[in-house]
Amino acid sequence: MGTKLSFVLLMAFFIGCSNVQQPTAPPQQSPAKLGDVKKIASTGTDHGYWWQCYVSSGSGSISFPQAGTYPGNFQANWSNIGDIVAGKGWNPGSSHSIGYNCGSLTGQYKNFGIYGWTTSPLIEYYVTEIGNVSGTYVNSVSSDGHSYNFYKHQQVNQPSIQGTATFWQYLDNWGGSSTGSNHTVTMNNHINNWKSHGGQGFGGYNLQILAVEDWGGGSGSCNATVWGQ
C-alpha cells in the first residue's frame, strides 16, 4: 500500500443512508461536541472491511468507488447535515497500527481520524488526524512523530452503542495531518496512555473505523482509504 493513491472515482457498489432521524430529541452538545454519534443508522461490510454511516438529519451517504483496487477505500458525501460519522475499518478493532490516506476532504468538516468504542467499560474514543476535538486536558502522548493532546469528557444519559448511557469519551487531538499521502496511527500508543491515565481503563474492542465527522448544517465530502499494518 506504499504507492500514492489516485483518487479518480470508479463505478462501484453504492450504499447510501440519508434523512435518518433520531428516535428521541437530539442530545445536548458536549464541550467536545462528538456526543451525537451513537445511534448507528447503517452498517455493513465491503471488501473485507466493516463500515458505518450515521446520519442524524440532513443528507449523507457512503460509497466505495475505489475498493476494487484499494479495499479500504470509501467516499462520504453530506449536505445540510445535522451530524454525520461515516467511515470504514473493523468490528471489532484492535491495538494494531492503522495506515490511511485521506485523498480529499472538502467543504465543511469537524474532524477526521480514528473513531471507535469499547464495552465494559463503555468508552467512545477519537484519534483526530485532521480537525479538532477537545475536552478536559489530561496529558500528552507522542506517537508517529507527533504530539497528541489527550482530553476526556463524560457524557451523561446520552445515546450510545448500548442505548442511552453515561460513559466517557477519550479524545486524542493532533489535527496536523495532510491529504494525498500515506500516514500511520499506532493505536497501541494511544491505548496504553488511555489505560494508564484515562481513569476509566479501556474495555473490550467494538467498532474501530477511519471516519469523517461533521455537524451543524454543513456540506462536504471525503475520499479516504484505510488499511491495517
Nearest residue to 38 (alpha-carbon basis) of 83, 76, 77, 80: 83
Among residues 36, 129, 213, 214, which one is catalytic?
A: 213
Buried b (16+ CB within 10 A) or exposed e, 30-58: bebbbbbbbbbbbbeebbebbbbbbbbbb
CA distances to 104, 105, 143, 207 from 181, rounded to whole Å, are 10, 13, 18, 25
The closest of 32, 55, 27, 41 to 159, measured between CA atoms, is: 27
Q: Peptide bond before 121: cis, by omega within 30 degrees of 0? A: yes
Cell numbers for 67, please give them. Answer: 475498493
Q: CA end-to-end span of the chain, whole Å?
A: 10
Rounded CA-CA distance 51/63 in Å is 10
Set 124, 129, 172, 214: catalytic member: 124
Q: Is 129 a catalytic residue?
A: no
118 - beta bridge partners?
Answer: 123, 205
Is residue 112 classed exposed, middle or buried when 0-12, 13-18 and 19+ CB atoms within 10 A define those classes?
buried
Catalytic residue positions, numbered: 124, 213
